[in-house]
Amino acid sequence: MAELHDLTALEQAEGIRTGELSPVELTEHYLARIDRLDDTMGAFLTRTPQIARKQAAEAESEAVSARREGRELPPLHGVPVPVKDLTQVAGVRCTMGSRALADHVPTVDDHVVDRLRAGGTILLGKTNTPEFGLPCYTENGLAPPARTPWDLTRSAGGSSGGAAAAVAAGLAPLAHASDGGGSIRIPASVCGLYGIKPSRGRISGGPLLHDISGLATSGPLARTVADAAALLDVMAGAMPGDPYAAPPLPPGETFTSYALRDPGRLRIACLTETPLPGVRVHPDCRAAVTDTAALLTGLGHEVEELSLPSDNTLLVAFTRVWSVLAAIRPVPPGGEELLMPLTRYLRDRGAEVSGMDFALSMHAFRSLTQSLADGLMTPGTGYDVVLSPTLAAPPTAVGGLRDDADPQAEFAAIGAFTPFTAVSNATGQPAVNVPLQWNAEGLPIGVMLAGRYGDEATLIALSAQLEQARPWAARKPPAW
């Protein structure tokens, strides 16, 4: 028989609306699974059972009142949604994956947490992340490494590895995540999930830790397209003080509604090779894109192969900006010696970047954005979507990318593993990981779809079409 965690988040929310399911019952189910499985999965840095039970009781009371009064509830009312530990929740420890911040407790919510609260979601805890979200694996000095439930010897990716491990192992129905260089799409790929990196400004990054580069954004991780779209609806919206604001949907529209729509016939560019010099794409990742391209063609879309010239301009610019972002992370006095070797390496490198070089790197991002808007993805004449591998290789072993003795080599290995993802962070475009493929070893191999700035709707509609053509949510890992 199906258990509660077999239900989609939207099915759970519907059960709560009708009274067939209690938020208290649902929350206790997930808390029990976390107690039983999380020491193996490494999904959570901080568990919040007391908060979860209090919020669940309040959600139950509100659901009863809404049924009695005939009121609508938010789309995910009463559904558990853990928050990544780079994001601040008032009164809950926020370590940012660092031993230097092991006892840090913020006094205010980030704006996205305000929206999750207003949406009636339940906080199960803070999910595992690497130090300051810098690498693409989730290993730190605070908790066990986050593992993909498809093979517990392999990493869940990063930096939203804990969020992905939680959803993929059935410890949460869906999760808040964030992405500054691929940190939603990378763990979605290695954990067999659907993940959305929204357009720049779609979700507020305030009020305290605005990303001055525009690279990072919060976003959803889920098992289904509709669940992810519903969580995006809950989290989306600009707030006062935000430096960016993505174009809003037409009045009355929701992202969830696009998961039920035909995307129409789209022109799709297919990219199988990375433009980064010397980076090889694994045959499994190339095959996943080729197979997806054939599926898209069969669905009536126009798919054309795309080849990009070899160029490391974006890599140089991204490395400079990423290093500066690492350098400006606040570390309490005496905390530097507690930092991971990669963090110290990037902070030292960032401190050496001149103001002129930082500005030129940001200009390189804007130039790329403009060239895409004016050429490759011009509305009406350019491509609607770009299809590529999400990663250049299958999921790596726990510890497989980490090199404490040589953090410079580690950072180079991270770049070679993730050569496709950072482009959308530099340009601010939306991009998604679609879990259509598994290799011969039974490991998930994601493919990535990137769209025009502000056009998450097309990506959601296209993803839902692919999900209908080749459903994936019923495929469960051994840890399920």
User: What pLDDT does 479 receive?
Assistant: 83
Edge-to-edge strand order for the sheet containing 44-47? 44-47, 125-127, 83-84
What is the number of other CB atoms lying within 10 angstroms of the CB of residue 338? 17
User: Of 124, 301, 338, whose CA–CA distance to 347 is shortest?
Assistant: 338
What is the DSSP code string of 297-360?
A: HHTT-EEEE-------HHHHHHHHHHHHHHHTS---TT-GGGS-HHHHHHHHHHHT--HHHHHH
User: What pLDDT does 1 receive?
Assistant: 58
User: What pLDDT does 308 receive?
Assistant: 86
Q: Which of 183, 218, 323, 388 is catalytic?
A: 183
To the query of whether residue 183 is one of the catalytic residues in this protein, the response is: yes
pLDDT top residue among 276 and 154:
154
Q: What percent of the chain has pLDDT over 70?
A: 100
Mean pLDDT across 221-245 = 97
**In the block, residue with structure tokens 């779209």:** 229
User: What pLDDT does 311 receive?
Assistant: 87
pLDDT top residue among 39 and 2:
39
To the query of whether residue 463 is one of the catalytic residues in this protein, the response is: no
CA distance 478 to 462: 29
CA distance 456 to 460: 6
Length of the chain: 480
Please tell me what DSSP assigns to residue 5: G
User: Of 136, 135, 155, whose CA–CA distance to 145 is shortest?
Assistant: 155
Q: Which of 84, 126, 218, 361 is catalytic?
A: 84
Strands, DSSP E only, in 154-240? Answer: 174-179, 194-197, 217-222
Q: Which of 22, 98, 159, 213 is catalytic?
A: 159
Asked, as a colleague might, if the bond just before 159 is cis with ω within 30 of 0, I would say yes
**In the block, residue with structure tokens 């357009």:** 199
pLDDT at 2 over 90: no
pLDDT at 90 over 90: yes
Contact 80, 7 (CB under 8 A): no
63-87, pLDDT tens digit by residue? Answer: 999 999 999 999 999 999 999 999 9
CA distance 451 to 457: 9
Contacts of 275 (CB under 8 A, 6+ apart): 308, 309, 310, 311, 419
Q: Average model confidence (pLDDT) for the chain?
A: 97
Contact 371, 314 (CB under 8 A): no
CA distance 162 to 359: 33
Mean pLDDT across 165-192 = 98
Contacts of 336 (CB under 8 A, 6+ apart): 100, 344
CA distance 12 to 480: 18
Which pLDDT band, with edges at 50, 70 and 90, does 275 fall under? confident
For 26, 160, 170, 213, 257, the CA distances from 41, given in Å and listed in that order, are 20, 13, 11, 32, 33
Which pLDDT band, with edges at 50, 70 and 90, does 198 fall under? very high
What's the alpha-carbon Rg for the chain, to the nearest Å? 21
User: What pLDDT does 310 receive?
Assistant: 84
User: Of 214, 213, 217, 154, whose CA–CA distance to 189 is shortest?
Assistant: 154
To the query of whether residue 159 is one of the catalytic residues in this protein, the response is: yes
pLDDT at 266 over 90: yes
pLDDT at 385 over 80: yes
Mean pLDDT across 435-459 = 98
Model confidence, pTM = 0.98
User: Of 151, 156, 158, whose CA–CA distance to 166 is shortest?
Assistant: 156
E strand or H helix at 32: helix 23-41
**In the block, residue with structure tokens 């509609």:** 461
User: Where would I find the H helices in 201-329?
Assistant: 225-235, 255-258, 283-298, 313-327
Contact 205, 215 (CB under 8 A): no
**In the block, residue with structure tokens 């404490």:** 404
User: Of 16, 49, 31, 4, whose CA–CA distance to 120 is shortest?
Assistant: 16
User: What pLDDT does 209 receive?
Assistant: 84
User: What pLDDT does 338 receive?
Assistant: 98
367-378, pLDDT tens digit by residue? Answer: 999 999 999 999
User: Of 475, 455, 459, 480, whose CA–CA distance to 249 is shortest?
Assistant: 455
98-151, pLDDT tens digit by residue? Answer: 999 999 999 999 999 999 999 999 999 999 999 999 999 999 999 999 999 999
